[in-house]
Chains A and B, each alone.
Chain A
Amino acid sequence: MRISQRRGAAAVAATVAAGAILTACSSGGSEDGQTDAGSAAGGEDATCTNEILNADAPQVSVWAWYPAFESVVDLFNETHDDVQVCWTNAGQGADEYNKFSTTIEAGSGAPDVIMLESEILPTYTILDSLVDLSEYGAGELESQFTTGSWSDVSNGDSVYAVPVDGGPMGMLYRADIFDEYGVEPPTTWDEFAQAAQDLRDAGYDGYITNYPTNGNALNYALFAQNGWSPFEYDNANPAEIGIDVATPEAEEVLSYWNDLIESDLVATDDAFTSDYNTSLVDGTYAVYLAAAWGPGYLQGLSDADSGAEWKAAPLPQWDPANPVQVNWGGSTFAVTEQAADPELSYTVASELFGTMDAWELGIDEAALFPQWLEALESDFFVEKEYEFFGGQQINKDVFIEAANGYEGFSFSPFQVYAYDQQTQALYDMVESGGDAAGALQTIQDALVTYAQQQGFTVK
């Protein structure tokens, strides 16, 4: 009797507890949504990370994850009586985008101004969640920015964001390692492959560089350097898209890397993991194929090799007679459809990094690479000597030319999905020893199927 009672009680407890677990887990999703919306609404109301200096002025909420951004915000608020910026760091990259997507679905909770990488802009313009800034005169800004960055934020006469920083690519290399093994730093990709072999033959036990299968935008840039343009997409005609991923140009680049990987001359660690970070600075990789924000990233890493001597050089080229410059990353300020006062928000978006004072903070403290020509061409930036590179003027030597040579790139309106498919296909290729053509075809097929499922007409 006693036993059966206890059993009964336990069984009831079991069902109740099982129910509780179901409850806990199934409500998890919606709880997340609510927290996100809550914190976003906070952005509109009061909880700013920075201090509001002029409490009477209207406030514009901003989401951004720039390093040392607080000083830029403070500078803006000190110099503006008519508007104050209320800044929140809603996470970096995907973290912020996930929250932004949630606020779009919810119809409320988005900030007025949001920091977005240029590659993600089409993802949001197709959802009609960004304001066309040309209404507020953004078209006039065109001459103030680099050609490539302007092409990335505009579409015909429409302007969807104000460019801030960019990621023109260069090659950062360990001069001490190349010296020690008597190898010349490469200037073309042929020389690069040769250097990889020479370093190995001379007894260097690291890898010339790392080819991360999850290096989304990096891999795009490396393909683009050989003339790859996978997406044909125009905001004016949002239901149509051209997808051409598996091209001979891309195959050439991917086969090149695949060969180096199969000869064990290039590592394949995932990017942005702690393993990768350590390998970057402890001499495991001799070269870091980097964007202009790369030096800032390197300096922030610990466990660095004390004898390291870093130098910057232009990115190796496929055809040295016709050098092609590419871009990896870079961000913009966009005004969201939910902005209470789009015109005032546009003022904030265009003026936050619209002064030389702000850019001095951005360049010195956050290691940003300006797309605003006045800052880009200023002596302060051009002549800047970087202690980390032994006093080399890396902007003058490498990155300014790269930025000016960049012509823009057309991303898809489902870029996160495209990146995820690429990561998977490249990983499978490396893991199973597959070939480049197969991997690219897998991506192509997945994207076409997905686009059709989403209601696009695939050209």
Chain B
Amino acid sequence: MTTSSTAVDQTAGPAAAGARGGKLRRSSSTSTIDSKRQWWGWIFTTPFTIVFVLFLIVPLSYAFWMSLHNKGIATGGESVFVGIDNYVRAFTDPIFLDGLLLVARFVAVMVPIQIGVALLCALVLDTLATQLSKASRLLIFVPYAVPAVIGALMWGFLYSPRFGPAQDLFGLFGLAAPDFLSSSMIFTSLVNIVTWQWVGYYMIIIYAALRTIDPSVYEAARIDGANGAQIALRIKVPMVSSSMVMVVIFSLIGTLQFFTEPTVLRSVAQGAIPPDYTPNMYAYSLAFSYSQFNYASTIAFALGIFVFIGSYLFLYLTRKQSGLKS
């Protein structure tokens, strides 16, 4: 008994020692590999780092420097250091604050619509497996392939009271078409353009995530008595929640920086879309139409801060769903 136990101990001893020794060896060798890897890592990222510094850090720093100075057009073009005065002005500027409120409204309306439609399309396409579903997938995605400017121009024509089909379509039912480019309708018209443009893209992301789910999960659910709707809502949606978070972040940031569509549509609706409609458009007008590059930089930075806080808050609130915190 004792011999056998000693024998076990003896056999276990070297094995354990070996294991311990192995562990030690491994950890020391890992750290050298790690530090070597780190060096190589830096070298591999050099091309990116150069571009990153040159085209992001440097312009951003310059813009920040500009935002701390001021230059009135009547004061002879002298650049004066004003500290955070411009920021105080920006955060008390009713035009900028109204712009922020407007994009916040766009976020509140547009993000749920986009994500909802994209999720619905993805779920339906994931369930069907016919030729039709392949064709629909492509058709839903196609608007994303149309450049944003072209898309907005096209919708400008569709909305036109003269050239657009709306008058004919509403006429069929004996109704008068609303003026899509009037100030009361322009919000809806813009939501429609952006939704049309981006739903396909978000759908593809969600759809791709759905395809990676192991079908045996569904089988198990079905054996447990779940019906189609339950599988979709209780199995599929939770399993693609990290993709959903990503899609919402895309949508959130894109909407807060709303610029292209209203700018293009402005050429046919100058009264309904003022040049300072969204904060981004305001910054653009200030810089390029009114020659106020300093204050424009401030507005751009202030918007950047807002976008950063918004995205951070969202990522923090959804850290569970996105897997940032398990």
Contact = CB atoms under 8 A, between A and B. Distances in A.
Given A14-B249, A275-B161, A6 B289 contact: no
Given A11-B324, A127-B73, A238-B74, A98 B288 contact: yes
Contacts of A143: none
B120 interface: no
Interface residues of B, number: 58
Given A14-B246, A94-B289, A128-B77, 16 more contacts: A7-B326, A15-B315, A30-B63, A98-B288, A98-B289, A105-B291, A214-B270, A239-B75, A413-B74, A416-B289, A420-B275, A420-B285, A420-B289, A423-B270, A427-B270, A430-B271
B289 A18 contact: no
A432 B271 CA distance: 12
Interface string B158-185: 0011110000000000000000001100
7 contacts: A17-B246, A29-B63, A238-B76, A270-B271, A275-B160, A417-B290, A420-B285
B291 to A, nearest CB: 5
B293 interface: yes
Interface of B: 52, 55-56, 59-60, 62-63, 72-77, 157, 160-163, 182-183, 209, 212, 239, 242-243, 245-246, 249-250, 253-254, 257, 267-272, 274-275, 283-285, 287-291, 293, 300, 304, 307, 311, 315, 322-324, 326
B250 A105 contact: no
A454 interface: yes
Nearest to A456: B74
Given A213-B271, A424-B271, A26 B60 contact: yes
Nearest to B269: A270
B77 A14 contact: no
Contact of A10 (B73, B76, B243): B243
A30 B323 contact: no
A274 B55 CA distance: 38
A46 interface: no
A428 B272 CA distance: 9
B56 A275 contact: no
A278 B270 CA distance: 18
A10 B274 contact: no
Interface in A8-53: 8, 10-11, 13-15, 17-18, 21-23, 25-27, 29-31
A55 interface: no
B77 A7 contact: no
B267 A420 contact: no
Nearest to B252: A18
Given A22-B253, A431-B271, A11 B242 contact: yes
A126 interface: yes
Nearest to B319: A11
Interface in A98-148: 98, 101-102, 104-105, 123, 126-128
A6 B242 contact: yes
Most buried by A among B52, B56, B245, B284: B56
